[in-house]
Amino acid sequence: MKKVLKILGILFLVVLLVVGGGALFISVRGIPSYDVEIPKYHVEITPEKVERGKKLASMLCVHCHKNPETGLLTGQHMNDAPEFGYLYSSNITQDKEHGIGDWTEGELLYLLRTGILPDGRYTPPWMVKLPHMSDEDIDAIIAFLKSDDPLVAPQAVADQPCKPSFLAKFLCTVAFKPLPLPEKTIPQPDTNDKVAIGKYYVQSLDCFGCHSASFEKMNMMEPEKSLGYMGGGNQSLKDLEGNQVVSSNLTPHKTGVGNWTEQRFVNAVRHGLVEGEPALRYPMMPYPELTEYEASAIFAYLRTIPPIENEVDRGVE
């Protein structure tokens, strides 16, 4: 009996050392880096592309990178995900030293598609990746970032270093990995197919990330396989004061938007209002950049996905 207990004690000690060593390694190493294979890439910058890119960037990038005091895209303290540590978004203006002014189109493409920076560092979960966005729209975002638009005019503001928590380091080691570059062309959705347009925006704007059950169970490459796809209940969201916000159920169940009219949904998404009252809670913001047709297309798509029964207190009505 004593021999058995001794063996069990040794095994427990070995497991403890392995787990402790692994935790120490993750803590010291931090968020992983990867080999970089920047493709040769060129984007023709036209007024039409810049306009389209600004629209998309306003929904995807500006919210996080815009300094609230200056209105410039020089980064800001992001205090709505404290469990991931002290976070500060980057300067994405055209400044060559402190921003992205000397980045190539290929480096921008690589980051937006894979989540890997030019120096090989992986951008953590709070940085949006765009595996489902069309090639045309990716080009538009790059054109905007490379343009002379005032939002991206050079600003000599140094980045504030992030201090990721152990949880962020752990998740980036075992769960969140770089995404592959697409092997095929990703086309624009058919403009005559309303459901296709709606699906495109839900997945390319990463709506499913917050509105599915959890970030940990999110399937970036096959969004519909995410746990609780669009059924809400994600409890990892915070408002600006650090209070928990649970994402809403957007499936066509009566506990979601099953009883909503199209116009009610459009008003909520574009203007943040339902019957004249506030309809959204931070971090969800209105998307006035979407046209009425685009917002209604999202609603049309949501009506086609499997309903999930999940009553979520929206806390705004």
CA quadruple 302, 303, 306, 309: dihedral positive or negative?
positive
Average pLDDT along the chain, 317 residues, taken 10 residues at a time: 60 58 69 91 96 96 90 87 83 96 97 94 84 97 96 94 86 85 95 96 93 88 95 84 86 96 96 85 89 97 97 68
Q: What SS3 class is residue 225? A: helix
CATH class of 194-302: mainly alpha
Q: What SS3 class is residue 278? A: strand
Taking CB atoms within 8 Å and a gap of at least 24, the contacts of 135-140 are 135/182, 135/185, 135/186, 135/187, 136/187, 136/188, 137/52, 137/53, 137/56, 137/188, 137/204, 138/109, 138/112, 138/113, 139/43, 139/49, 139/53, 140/49, 140/50, 140/52, 140/53, 140/56
HSE on the CB side for 181, CA within 13 Å? 14
Per the CB < 8 A criterion, the answer to whether 270 and 295 are in contact is yes
**pLDDT score for 240:** 72
* Multiple choice CATH, 47-174, 1.10.1760, 1.10.1200, 1.10.8, 1.10.760: 1.10.760
Q: Distance (Å, rounded) from C-alpha 140 to C-alpha 108?
A: 12
pLDDT in tens, 67-85: 988 889 999 988 777 778 8
47-174 and 194-302 in the same fold: yes
CA quadruple 285, 287, 292, 298: dihedral positive or negative?
negative
**pLDDT score for 317:** 43
Q: Distance (Å, rounded) from C-alpha 108 to C-alpha 57?
A: 13
**pLDDT score for 280:** 86
pLDDT in tens, 210-242: 999 988 788 989 999 999 999 999 888 877 777
Domain residue spans of the chain: 47-174, 194-302
CB atoms within 10 A of CB 272: 18
